[in-house]
Amino acid sequence: MRFISAAIALLAFTTTAAVAQTGSITGQVLDPTGAAIGKATITATSTSTGISRIATTTSAGIYSFGALPPSGYDLVATANGFQAQTMKNVVLNIAATLPVNFTLAVAGATTTVDVRDAETATVDASSYQLSTVIDSQQINDLPLVLRDPYQLVLLSPGVVTATNNDGGVSVNGQRDRNNNFMLDGADNNDTSVPGGLFGISSANPDSAQEFRVITNNFDAEFGRNTGAIIDVVTRGGSNKFHGDAYEFGRYNALGARDFFNTKANGPQDPYVRNDFGASVGGPVWKDHTFFFLNGEAQRFRTARTALQTTPTAAFGGHPQRNIS
């Protein structure tokens, strides 16, 4: 049996006005005594795209950035009479609210305080949602025999493989068909054949940036089902061109025979799986518009050996005749 399937072809353009699932960064700016600093300026700059956003603190020293795409950010806080402070490489995950506070020292000589790889809270205290983020490092580092990132949903607490042989997962005791799959914030559910661990549009480790699995206490923006919310964010381009080409293979010569395909039944069943793909991304208009393209094709050749019992002519016998 042999067939070729196109796994995914994705072309994504990202601008400052069009982003998919987003998060927010908020916090407070204080002076050394703990008093709020009003009218301080906070600048958030994406480390990958160079896009910047500016916010000003209120009289209570509070600032907020909403609708930020998942990325790493450099945050700079400035205020008259105070030294500037920079928080570098603050990582914002999908649908997260990230608290980042500043304490500005009184200005003497012109100096800037840099905090690199700023540590942020691992628990989002601003939301009742219970969720797990699977980031790009986990997607690329953990073994995925089928190159399917959705398999990593099982890393979330309360998620187990369903027992009905649909290939899905059960979350906190809910049925597997009660899960809600989303892609970049849009509906990605297969309503014709629900229950599997996938959506209509598939993903692979090269096209997925990260995803969040929300298992309880969903916010009002979510709905539809009572299981988990599984929201995947696809990769986007950056200010630098990046690309790769790859091929993964699985062959029966490197695998064991299954239970039915014994040596007595002849040669080993063929199992050949090839996965070809390539990705490329970069700027269309630096600091403004970017593109990312990923394509993948899969080819399988396999067969299965099974045991079948069939009756012989002797097994049937002859009908009995009564002679009187």
Of the two residues 22 and 122, the one the predictor is more confident about is 22
Q: Which range scores top for mean pLDDT: 36-45, 64-73, 138-147?
A: 36-45
Q: What is the mean pLDDT of residues 135-145?
A: 88
- Going by pLDDT thresholds of 50, 70 and 90, the confidence category of residue 143 is confident
- Tell me what pLDDT residue 79 has: 95
Q: What angle do CA 22, 278, 189 make, to 5 degrees?
A: 45
Domain ranges of the chain: 19-115, 130-234
Q: Give the rounded percent of residues in the chain with a pLDDT score beyond 90.
A: 42
Q: What is the pLDDT of residues 22-66, one digit of tens each?
A: 889 999 999 999 999 999 999 999 999 999 999 999 999 999 999
DSSP, collapsed to helix, strand or coil, labels residue 147 as coil
Of the two residues 118 and 32, the one the predictor is more confident about is 32
The answer to whether 156 and 172 are in contact (CB under 8 A) is no
- Tell me what pLDDT residue 145 has: 83
- Tell me what pLDDT residue 65 has: 95
Nearest residue to 47 via CA among 10, 83, 17, 87: 87
The rounded mean pLDDT for the chain is 83
By mean pLDDT, which of 117-121, 131-135, 305-309 is the weakest? Answer: 117-121
Asked if the model's pLDDT at residue 6 lies above 80, the reply is no
- Going by pLDDT thresholds of 50, 70 and 90, the confidence category of residue 12 is very low
The answer to whether 187 and 222 are in contact (CB under 8 A) is no
Q: What is the mean pLDDT of residues 53-80?
A: 94
- Calpha distance 113→106 (Å, rounded): 12
- Going by pLDDT thresholds of 50, 70 and 90, the confidence category of residue 116 is low
Of the two residues 78 and 123, the one the predictor is more confident about is 78
Asked if the model's pLDDT at residue 210 lies above 60, the reply is yes
- Tell me what pLDDT residue 8 has: 39
- Tell me what pLDDT residue 160 has: 93
- Tell me what pLDDT residue 280 has: 96
- Tell me what pLDDT residue 136 has: 87
- Return all residues near 208 (Cβ < 8 A) that are at least 6 apart: 136, 139, 149, 232, 233, 234, 235
- Tell me what pLDDT residue 109 has: 56
Residue with tokens 């309360």: 158
Q: Which amino acid is at 211?
A: F
Q: Which helix (H) or strand (E) holds 140?
A: helix 136-141
pTM of the model: 0.73
- Tell me what pLDDT residue 14 has: 42
- Tell me what pLDDT residue 19 has: 41
Asked if the model's pLDDT at residue 319 lies above 60, the reply is no
User: What is the dotted CATH code of the domain comprising 130-234?
Assistant: 2.170.130.10
By mean pLDDT, which of 81-95, 267-281, 304-318 is the weakest? Answer: 304-318
Asked if domains 19-115 and 130-234 share a fold, the reply is: no
- Tell me what pLDDT residue 7 has: 39
User: For the purposes of burial, counting CB atoms within 10 Å of the CB of 263, is it exposed (0-12), middle (13-18) or buried (19 or more)?
Assistant: exposed
Q: Give the rounded percent of residues in the chain with a pLDDT score beyond 70.
A: 85
Asked if the model's pLDDT at residue 195 lies above 80, the reply is yes
Looking at domain 19-115, which CATH architecture does it have? Answer: Sandwich (2.60)
